[in-house]
Structure 1
Amino acid sequence: MAYRIINNQLQQTKIEFTKANGDIYAILERAPDNAYLFARWTGIQTMETIQEGGKVYLDVMQQYPASKLLNSHKELIGPWDFANEWISQVWTPKAVELGMRYMAQVLAPGVYGQMSFHQLHQRIGNLLEVKMFDNEESAKEWLLSV
């Protein structure tokens, strides 16, 4: 697995994460004016893909602090609850320490991905404000309003 930075100018950062076969499994972008970070997860995830994406997200937050995350699972396939302990015990506390306060979650279309997020929400809902959405546009509108 690997990632490549597409653009790393002051106004725009875009990082594509790829599996060994070249398939993109996530894209992380910084919105204009650093209004929020936008993570789009695609396909089936593994513990390795989730940790790699999460660690790079934290690196980006260190360089460009952002209090808001739009986390989209609209193209995610299957469950990922095996990573909930790492996300809740390691990733979320570090993200909050770096300034994250709001998370707009676009739910996966499948029941397994939705169940995985609902289980995670029970673990992290007291650390930051989380709202769930069916589409990215509503999620973006909420983030820009808080």
Structure 2
Amino acid sequence: MEEQIELKKVFGDVFFRAGRKEDKSILYAYWYGVQSEETVKDGGYKMLSLIKEKPYNKLMNSNEHVIGSWDMALEWAENEWAPAMRKAGLRYLAYVVPASIFATLTVESLIQRIDDEFEIRTFKSEEQAEQWLMSV
């Protein structure tokens, strides 16, 4: 990735990484470990700033390494993050779903809440998600 940022929790654990691949015009976001409302908002606002800085209309959002639910942030994601990302130009959202059933249920709940904002698909691998994004 040409440019990559990462966000860490207080004790130094990385909970979010994001970057771009210029040749693919896709913003890539990766989430790690247990998420809180604060970490979800921090990562969400970081994605928003990256989209505003250099508008890309495609996001590959990987929850593959998320542990547990982050449903405490769903209302914020629906009412603030999704409309702001749409306004900033996001149109296609590829979600890589985790093995954790609780995190997967949270992703599915989010998709039900925001599917009118973007064209959204879920995938089991980053490769599949990227292939779809490249095709749209």
Q: TM-score range by the shorter chain?
A: over 0.9
Please tell me whether residue 141 in structure 1 is matched to residue 131 in structure 2. Answer: yes
Task: Name structure 1 gaps, 5 residues minimum.
Answer: 1-10
- TM value normalised by structure 1: 0.90
Aligned-residue identity in percent: 36
Q: How big is each residue's C-alpha offset from its partner over 1:104-142, in whole Å with a ceiling of 9 and x where there is no partner?
A: 000011110010011111100111100000010000000
Task: Name structure 2 gaps, 5 residues minimum.
Answer: none
* SS of residue matched to 1:50: helix
Structure with more contact order per residue of length (Cα contacts < 8 Å, sep ≥ 6): 2
Instruction: Give 2:108's match in structure 1, choosing from 78, 99, 118.
Output: 118
* SS of residue matched to 2:23: helix
User: What residue number does 1:8 align with?
Assistant: none
Assess if the C-alpha contact under 8 Å between 1:34 and 1:64 holds in 2: no
User: What residue number does 1:25 align with?
Assistant: 15
Write the mapping of 1:1-146 to structure 2, written as runs, cut at 5 A. 12-33=2-23, 35-146=25-136
* Offset at residue 102 of structure 1 (A): 0.2
Tell me the C-alpha RMSD between the 2 structures: 1.1
* Offset at residue 35 of structure 1 (A): 1.2
